[in-house]
Amino acid sequence: MLPIDSTKKLSFNRNISDGDLVIVYEKHDAMKAVKVCEKSVLENRFGVFKHSDWIGKPFGCKVSSHKGGFVYLLAPTPELWTLVLSHRTQILYIADISFVVMYLELIPGCVVLESGTGSGSLSTSLARAIAPTGHVYTFDFHEQRAAAAREDFEKTGLSDLVTVGVRDIQGEGFPKDLVGVADAVFLDLPQPWLAIPSAGEMLKPDGVLCSFSPCIEQVQRSSETLTSKFTDIRTFEVLLRTYEVREVKMDQSQSEEGTPGSHRPCKRKHRASDASLWQQDNSGSPVVMARPSSEARGHTGYLTFARLKCVA
Ligand SMILES: C[S@@+](CC[C@H](N)C(=O)[O-])C[C@H]1O[C@@H](n2cnc3c(N)ncnc32)[C@H](O)[C@@H]1O
C-alpha cells in the first residue's frame, strides 16, 4: 500500500509552496521547469521574477516581473514535463504516450513494467495513470540514466509510484520476483524480441504488452517472437497533425474565398461540429483560422501491442 502522501503530491489543486516544481510558461514552445526557492529569482527577457512572490499563489496563476512582464506558473503535469525534461535519450511524445496508456488499459492500481527508462518521459504518464495504488517498475542498464530518472521522479513527486532498477533486460530478462505481477509491460529497446519471453512471464493472464520500435524490421522480428505466447498482435503508427490557430484580419474578398494554404473559413459562429474554424460575421473584423502547422511531427515509431494468451 502506498503512503497517502503520493495522492496529495499528484494533486495540483493547491497553492504553490517553497520547494515545489513549477513550469514557467512564456508560450507553448517556451517553457522551463523551475524549483521554487524563496530566496531565488528567475531572470528572462521579461524581467526579474522573485520566487517569494509566487509562494501561496495557485498553480496556473500569472505573475509579473519587476518591469511588468509576465509568465504563467503551471503545474508539472506529465503532458508539460514531457516537453521540458532534459533529453538524455530519444523520448516518447504525447501522441504515442496517449495511445500507449489507452491501449495498455491502464487504470489506478495497475502494475506496469517498463524498459528502458530512458529520460522517463513515458514513465511519468504511466505513473499518473496507475496512481495512487498501482506501481511502475522501470529498468535501464545505463546507471547514470537510471539515477537521473530517479532524481526526476523525486522532483515531479512520483517517486512513491515508480521504482527504477539498473538491469540488462535484453540479456537477463525482468527480475524473477516480478513473475506474474504485471498488468502491462512496455518495451522501448533496440532488440525487443530478446526481452519478449521474459515479459510474457511477468504478465498476468490476459495482460498486455507494447513494444515501440522505430523500424518495421524490428516490428517483424518482435511479432515473430510474440506469436508463440501472445494473441491479438497489432501494430500502429500514430501520425499527429497539429494545427495553428491564429486570429487574422481579412478584407471582404479574402473572406469570401478563404486564404491560400488554409481551410476556407466558415461563416457560422461557433458551430459545434466545426469548432476549429469560424469567423465573425462583419467583414474586416478579426477571423480565427486554423491551418496545418509547418512543424508537424512525422514518423516516430511503430507501436506493437499483443495480449498474453490465457492457458486454460
Ligand atoms: C529510447 S530510450 C527510452 C526512452 C523512454 N521510452 C522515454 O520515453 O523517455 C531507450 C533506453 O533503453 C536503454 N536500454 C538499451 N538496451 C537496454 C537493455 N538491454 N536493458 C535495459 N535498458 C536498455 C537505453 O539505455 C536507453 O536509455
Determine if ligand 1 sits within 6 Å of the CB of residue 116.
yes
- The mean-pLDDT minimum among 31-35, 131-135, 144-148, 262-266 falls in 262-266
pTM of this prediction exceeds 0.95: no
Give the CA diameter of the chain. Answer: 71
* pLDDT for the residue 258: 44
Among protein residues, the one whose CA lies closest to atom 13 of ligand 1: 116
pLDDT digits (tens, 9 = 90+) for 230-256: 999 999 999 999 898 888 877 655 544
103-111: average pLDDT: 98
User: Mean of the per-residue pLDDT values for the chain?
Assistant: 88
* pLDDT for the residue 283: 62
Mutate to test the pocket of ligand 1, among 96, 140, 303 (most ligand atoms within 8 A of CB): 140
* pLDDT for the residue 142: 98
Taking the CA of residue 98 as centre, how many other CA atoms within 13 Å lie in the half-sphere pointing to its CB? 6
Residue 238: DSSP 8-state: -
- Ligand 1 atom closest to the CA of 170, numbered from 1: 19
Mutate to test the pocket of ligand 1, among 85, 99, 115 (most ligand atoms within 8 A of CB): 115
pLDDT of 206 over the 70 cut = yes
* pLDDT for the residue 219: 98
Cell numbers standing for residue 309: 494468451
pLDDT digits (tens, 9 = 90+) for 7-16: 555 666 689 9
Determine if ligand 1 sits within 6 Å of the CB of residue 91.
yes
* pLDDT for the residue 248: 85
* pLDDT for the residue 118: 98
Name the amino acid, one letter, at 6: S
Q: What is the dihedral of CA 255, 256, 259, 261, to 10 degrees?
A: 140
pLDDT digits (tens, 9 = 90+) for 269-312: 444 344 444 444 556 678 899 988 877 677 899 999 999 998 77
* pLDDT for the residue 93: 95
* pLDDT for the residue 294: 77
Tell me, what's the ipTM? 0.99
175-193: average pLDDT: 98
Q: With beta carbons less than 8 A apart as the criterion, state whether 195 and 187 touch.
A: yes
Considering the chain, what percentage of its residues have pLDDT values greater than 90?
74
- How far apart are alpha carbons 301 and 92 in whole angstroms? 9
pLDDT of 111 over the 70 cut = yes
Cell numbers standing for residue 152: 526526476
110-134: average pLDDT: 98
Q: Residue for cell digits 532534459?
A: 86
Contacts 24+ apart (CB under 8 A), 219-225: 219/302, 219/304, 221/193, 222/192, 222/193, 222/196, 222/304, 223/304, 224/193, 225/193, 225/196, 225/197
* pLDDT for the residue 249: 79
Domains observed in the chain: 6-76 (3.10.330.20), 80-239+299-308 (3.40.50.150)
Q: Is 18 known to sit in a ligand binding site?
A: no
